[in-house]
Copies of this chain bind each other. A is one copy, B any other.
């Protein structure tokens, strides 16, 4: 599929993340106005609340775009999702008869504030990248026990904390927690010293399942509304001490950042690709009926406070994952767990096979033993106060790209606690 031309001129460039082919969904506000739904096109945003008031779509439910989240649209189901995308594609296409009236509902992206694009119902994070699991397993449990025995059979996941999910740009406060040095008799309480990122894709569940009713991988695939970039900020020292036997808890609960645009599964359709060859056969309930990963280029930049430029510290691709989102969601519901509109599924850290394709500082600095050198000459093992970390992502088409925007966070110092 080539670039689809739009009457919004800035959308017709090979460099824009938001051509007509993309149409990512966000929530925005201008000045003191209430946040509402919009769609990005080039360097503009279409105000869907006002456009709908002016007659964009015939709908029974009139006010879904006036909400500060996309959940109500998701609730309307896949047939409506397709109808909305078709209508927006028609209305914003070059030569559209809607241009005359619709232009008044556009605002420059540079003049709006972006908010969380949806209300997170529950948040689950997976561990589905084989390179990442092998690297981390080697560091935490030794090379002989790197990949747990269940890993090639189960898309391993754990429940995260929805209340900690924040939109790109939100300041990240360095967490406090229990830290125990290997040679110490007892833990102490204080600021995390091994603060890390995890480069992930977040999938947004757009449908619901009833408690007790599992779903197939195909049904799961059809329930995904769209994707965001996701940075599962991690406190490696807190994690190392707390995670046995019940998994990470406070090490992952202080913040998870997402990019502000929901890139729809529909926009990513031309970029579907297969999961890697299976080393051992999967059980029937995890078999994929077709290609369910996507070819999405990803990268991470790091910029210390005051540094003139950001340094790229990782380049990888979503197709490196061993399990797809559809497999993860099918597994999630396999015991009968009810899934809901707005559930967020983190892919797991997306590391590639090479040293510079690793999606966490834990891996990039090999547990802190091999510091990275940034473009400015500064070195880093883990994140320091004032550092800004940014995730970037785009699926690359023929003369266009499906961009995700950025997922950005700057680290603020830990708070003083316990209180004096």
Contacts and interface: CB of A to CB of B under 8 A. Distances in A.
Contacts of A327: none
A200 to B, nearest CB: 14
Contacts of A121: 163
A253 interface: yes
B176 A334 contact: yes
A291 interface: no
Nearest to A219: B419
Given A164-B337, A339-B163, A340-B163, A178 B153 contact: yes
Interface in A311-350: 331-332, 334-340
B247 A161 contact: no
Nearest to A338: B163
Interface stretch (A2-10, A185-193, A262-270, A398-406): A185-193
Given A150-B187, A280-B186, A159 B159 contact: yes
A175 interface: yes
A80 interface: no
A199 interface: no
Interface stretch (A59-67, A209-217, A373-381): A209-217
A248 B158 CA distance: 7
A255 B415 contact: no
B255 A336 contact: yes
Contact of A150 (B158, B214, B242, B254): B242
A238 B335 contact: yes
Contacts of A285: 189, 417-418
How many residues of A sit at the interface, in one of the four size bands? 35 or more
Contacts of A235: 335
Nearest to A330: B418
Given A150-B242, A153-B186, A334-B176, A211 B250 contact: no
The secondary structure that dominates the A interface is loop
A5 B163 CA distance: 43
A212 B174 CA distance: 8
A4 to B, nearest CB: 38
A173 interface: yes
B211 A163 contact: yes
A276 interface: no
B253 A150 contact: no
Given A187-B150, A245-B148, A250 B337 contact: yes
Contacts of A154: 178, 187, 241-242
Contacts of A415: 212-214, 336
A148 B335 contact: no
A122 interface: yes
Given A127-B246, A188-B283, A285-B417, A211 B334 contact: no
Contacts of A178: 150, 153-154, 283
A334 B158 contact: no
A222 to B, nearest CB: 15
The 6 closest A-B pairs by CB, nearest first: A247-B247, A253-B337, A159-B159, A175-B335, A173-B212, A250-B335
25 contacts: A122-B162, A148-B244, A150-B180, A154-B241, A156-B242, A156-B249, A157-B246, A158-B249, A159-B161, A159-B249, A161-B337, A176-B336, A186-B280, A189-B284, A211-B254, A211-B255, A212-B254, A213-B415, A214-B417, A247-B248, A250-B337, A251-B335, A254-B335, A254-B337, A255-B336
Interface of A: 121-122, 127, 137, 140-141, 148, 150, 153-154, 156-164, 166, 173, 175-178, 180, 186-189, 211-214, 216, 235, 238, 241-251, 253-255, 280, 283-285, 331-332, 334-340, 415, 417-419
